[in-house]
Structure 1
Amino acid sequence: MYISKLAIHRLRCINKMEVVPHSSCNIIVGENGSGKTSILEAIYMLGFGRTFRKSKTAELVQFDQNDLTIFAATESDYQDTATFGIRKYKNGSSEIKVRGKKAKRLSELSSEFPIISFTSDTIDLIDSGPSGRRKFIDWLVFHVKHSEDVAEIYRQFDKVLEQRNEALKQADLKMIQAWTPKFVELNLQIQSMRNEVISQLQDYLNKSYRQVESSKVNSSPTITYKLGWNSEFDLAELLAKNQGFEIKRRSCNYGVHRDDIIFQLDDTPVKNILSRGETKRFVLALLLAAEALLVTKSQKHCIWVLDDIAAELDYQSIVNAFSVGKSQNNQMFFTCIEKDLAIIQQAINFEHAVFHVKHGQLLN
């Protein structure tokens, strides 16, 4: 599936814009503050309901407006044109339409749009805390385990975790014991799904890393799942044994909400040995591996959004990203400033479209 038409209203400096993208590769050119990154934000919002920037919804909506809207028409090899839309209000509420019909949950829209982003913050996947790594794996679980109601499992877990935490704060033994069995059940479900997807991702990472980082063909990248409790113990028994400790801490100290995913190269954590440039290429390989797994398991093709690509990757990495992206038959959106356009076009050896943006408007 690819976006055949994109309409954006009242998002940052974009009052009204309609884009008819190329089905494969799109380069969005403009100076800083021109609105080019906001186009990527709009696409990203279809897959996540939020921006990839550290911004609240109220900051996305134009200051004198109450809401923003994003509309997308899509086409694919096996379906007629379909339409999707999201409206976000300043108070954080949303209205969603999937295939022209009102949807109750964001997950119904997200399932249609597997979005992969590569931005200046993507390196946080390696450098920051475990929360971002859990979100990355859970995004992959959501799309790979498409035949199961994964979103509902995670919604239930968040609710039960909140209720059990409240019971621990109140030292309410009856409520703690009432919520614990469901808490254990959901933990084991999520653990199983994460473990399965991480194991599958490993196979694809070995190949993609060699495609991106040709100087390290003899190195072995690995992904290790670090469980949020000692796996030598039964979780229910561990919680019962440490109930007093959790009450004292006033929170659940064991569970998948404390999981981490460790990325290593030759058995050494990536964050300890790679330069910033090497880390970016490792993350790019990881994202390419995630897409390959997703395509194999769900037959969905990802839509890539890459912000200021020339600043984030060296020339050879850009060439690799384009070539692998083309082979995966996905749709890509890149932003760059005017002076970097020539080098990016030099890296492309297939048909593409170029859009120039200024003051929130398309010039072509």
Structure 2
Amino acid sequence: MTYVSPGKGYERDSRYIATRITADGREGFPVRPGRYRLVVSRACPWASRAVVVRRLLGLEQALPMAVAGPVHDEDSWTFDLDPGGRDPVLGIERLKEAYLAREPGYDRGITVSAIVDVPTGAVVTNDFPQITIDMSLEWAPHHRPGAPELYPAELRPDIDAVNEVVYRDVNNGVYRAGFAGSQETYEEAYERLFARLDWLSDRLARSRYLVGDTITEADVRLFTTLVRFDAVYHGHFKCNRNKLAEMPVLWGYARDLFQTPGFGDTVDFDHIKRHYHLVHSDINPTGIVPAGPEPEPWLAPHDRAGLGGRPFGDGTPPGPLPRAERVPAGHNPLPGAGPP
């Protein structure tokens, strides 16, 4: 598949279906436990945000999840992990079918995460930044007891400010480097990426978390990029000034989050590597998937607790993963992440 335009920089298509699911249903889609299906891929960093937030808040029963396979073609994400290659609830083989049910002739990106209205089989929204905010605010009555506040009112301006620069320079910055079509656009993205990672290192050298003394939405958004850095972005996207493991503060911060229930136990390193190295055939035409890096270093002590902070504030960690949502054995080094 072609992602690089020779001589040009990379521009993400942000024309999302922005309909919101709200507590009052003001846009036609009220919050209703069991009515919707969250479609994700564990390979995708944008979808992985929703997976982490859903788990931290305990929305597993209220908002059931479908997991697409890690490799898609130019047409769509597929449900090849499910028996018969169909999602057992929606009954579809390709996520594109749910997009066309919403908009016949839909011609934009078939992206995850997407929330599908089960009764109609149509996508409600794929506006991934808003999806996780609404999980925190609109779905609050259905949070588990002890769920953390990931988007507290008093910290929202700071969270939003951090999220804006992290998205521009880091979350999307790795793509701007990896899909650059010229030396100039690549180097510009590369410099902005590592300047922002240095800025984040300085900030996190003094604070355990990005905003305040608990985990927030800002930490979730940074984590899903950092956890892919050495496995994909360092080599595949040429973001190779340093590995994450060579940036002590960020490496410790990322390990701290990885070892926090709700973060690392949702990560599938096999899906991550297969997606990037098989789907981006213009960058990796041989289709060879790297064997490394080994995941066990993610379990090494991080020594971040000395900075203070309480991961869940006055709340509690989520409980064990439901068996049906455990990452396959061998795809994650955490005890209990995969089936026994």
TM-score past 0.5 threshold: no
Query: In terms of Rg, which structure is larger?
Result: 1
TM-score (norm 1): 0.30
Of structures 1 and 2, the one scoring higher in RCO (CA 8 A, sep 6+) is: 1
The structure carrying a bigger helix percent of its residues is 1
TM-score (norm 2): 0.31
The structure carrying a bigger strand percent of its residues is 1
